[in-house]
Amino acid sequence: MATARLDYVAPWWTYWLHNFPHFNFSFQPIDNTFKPEEASYQQSLIFLACVGAVGLVLSLLVLTVHLICLCCCCKDMDEDSKRPETCCVTWVAIITGLIMCSAVGVGFYGNSETNDGVYQLTYSLHNANHTLGGINNLVAGTLGNAETGLKRHLERLDEIFSTSADYLKTLRFMQLMIANVVRELTALPDISKANVDLAAIADQTAFVEYYRWLNYLLLLILDLVICLAMCLGMAKQSRWLLITIMTFVALSLILSWATLGASTATAVGTSDFCVSPDKFIVNQTKDFLSADVAHYYLFCSPNLPNPFQQSLTICQRSLTTMQLQIQGLLQFSVPFFPTAERDLLGIQRLLNSTEFSVHQLTALLDCRGLHKDYLDSLMGVCYDGVEGLLYLSLFSLLAACALSGMLCAVFRVWTLMASRDKEYDDIDEEDPFNPDARRMSYNPRRSNVHSFCSYTSSLGSVASLHPPPNPTTAPPEYMNQSMLFGGSPRYENVPLIGRGSPPPSYSPSMRTTYLSMTDAQIRHFGTDFQV
């Protein structure tokens, strides 16, 4: 314990997170030592998790103010003023999309890092659990051989050697050696409880991590789909698609702030553990492990004595002494007591297997194996795990900001669409410049009515039915039109009636000429120009 461990050094971000202020529900600062069983410490982590709720409330407040401003300040604007507004909305959508894509990339990296760290933790816990299980099996097997097998053979030899005091004395000495082995093995720390706890912790951690990883993966995919759907909805300007996008953006915004609070609280709590993990583990194992045993495995320093060395040495010496006694009995007693050979060989086999088990137990109880698993678990949790949680917190923060910007852009697009629809509704249906009004004014039954242009273009067919009064002096068609409407080049000379075109501009002289038409001219041109 005098020499500090140099293999593990907590990373700087764990100290940074460890120094976060810890408050209980009464807003009183508490100790930041990792004590998950205390209610005040649990309250401090819940208080940190509420940061996400505060961020959600602030973002909703900003969105509400923005929506109110859009509803109150929206006025009719001409195309010159709408074009910069549309351009601004487009740039906001592009920027928020880029931020969202960057956030998703950060989230994928953080999710992978956290998963790697937790996998390393569970793998190390399973290795340590396997080591502790092997220790328990060896101790139980050695005790079974000593208490059952060896004692049974010694009881039969006691009956065989009942007439020989020297051999009985040797048997009593062997029984004393067996008692020493049993006593020293029983004095070993009962680490079966630690074995059960590690297995349960590893299984629960793997179960929780799987669903955590899956939920973050689904959230990342949802954010990507939202980003793509927003681009599609703004391009198509579809109302139902924008409504769907707003619904999923609001859901993802809530999830982003919730994951930000959860990841922040988890990162701070894990950092509190990573800053001083030895103290917490010693306190958790004090019921079944002594302090010197816990420090032996946590620090594994050459200066620390092996707390099992004395017991293991006594066991090995006792077994070696028993081997020598059995060899002597096989050499000197078998010629006089041939029936004792079977039990003596049985004892020898049990001693060989027990001695081999003690050597294996010595290797497993060495601190290097369990200490390596301990360091691997710390590296996984405090380096990869906490680093991944920091990236996930950054992802949640960026995603929440980007989603808020997306909602603002979608709200603005919605108001622009509503303004455009309002302008369309304000157009007069009788306006000749309105395409809908021109389509409504067209009547197929009037297609046979001759306009002025159609009549003059088919003047030859009309002349065959009604010959002009003076064909020899009739001027050309374009001259008739020029003379009829005053011949001014600034005005149109052919009325475009019945063709769905804008009304022509008539000069005062043209209107006077039209109104002063004779009955013959009216019969000639028809009723197309009557008022």
pLDDT digits 0-9 by tens, 119-142: 999 999 999 999 998 998 999 888
Please state, in angstroms and rounded to a whole number, the distance separating the CA atoms of residues 133 and 196.
9
pLDDT digits (tens, 9 = 90+) for 325-384: 999 999 999 998 999 999 999 999 999 999 999 999 999 999 999 999 999 999 999 999
pLDDT value of residue 278: 92
- Lowest mean pLDDT segment, chosen from 159-168, 454-463, 520-529: 454-463
> Is residue 187 packed enough to be buried (19+ CB in 10 Å), middle (13-18) or exposed (0-12)?
exposed
How many domains, the chain?
1
User: 338 CB contacts (<8 Å, ≥6 apart)?
Assistant: none
Amino acid letter, 161: F
In a domain, 456, yes or no: no
Please state, in angstroms and rounded to a whole number, the distance separating the CA atoms of residues 343 and 157.
7
Residue of 342, 361, 351 lying closest to 318 (CA atoms) = 351
Angle between helices 79-144 and 192-236 (to 10 degrees): 160
Three-state SS letters, 136-150: HHHHHHHHHHHHHHH
In a domain, 512, yes or no: no
In a domain, 365, yes or no: yes
Amino acid letter, 77: M
CA distances from 466 to 81, 449, 451, 456, 459 (A): 59, 18, 18, 14, 10
Full residue range of the structural domain in which residue 49 is found = 12-421
In a domain, 310, yes or no: yes
User: 320 CB contacts (<8 Å, ≥6 apart)?
Assistant: 355
Please tell me what DSSP assigns to residue 500: T
Q: What is the mean pLDDT of residues 109-124?
A: 96
In a domain, 457, yes or no: no
Residue that the structure tokens 């309250």 belong to: 43
pLDDT value of residue 467: 46
Amino acid letter, 450: H
Whether residue 497 has pLDDT greater than 60: no
In a domain, 354, yes or no: yes
Please state, in angstroms and rounded to a whole number, the distance separating the CA atoms of residues 342 and 324.
17
In a domain, 478, yes or no: no
User: 25 CB contacts (<8 Å, ≥6 apart)?
Assistant: 43, 46, 47
Please state, in angstroms and rounded to a whole number, the distance separating the CA atoms of residues 107 and 220.
7
H-helix segments, 74-150: 79-144
Please state, in angstroms and rounded to a whole number, the distance separating the CA atoms of residues 195 and 133.
6
In a domain, 102, yes or no: yes
- Lowest mean pLDDT segment, chosen from 10-24, 102-116, 119-133, 279-293: 279-293
Residue that the structure tokens 């195309």 belong to: 79
- Lowest mean pLDDT segment, chosen from 19-23, 326-330, 346-350, 508-512: 508-512
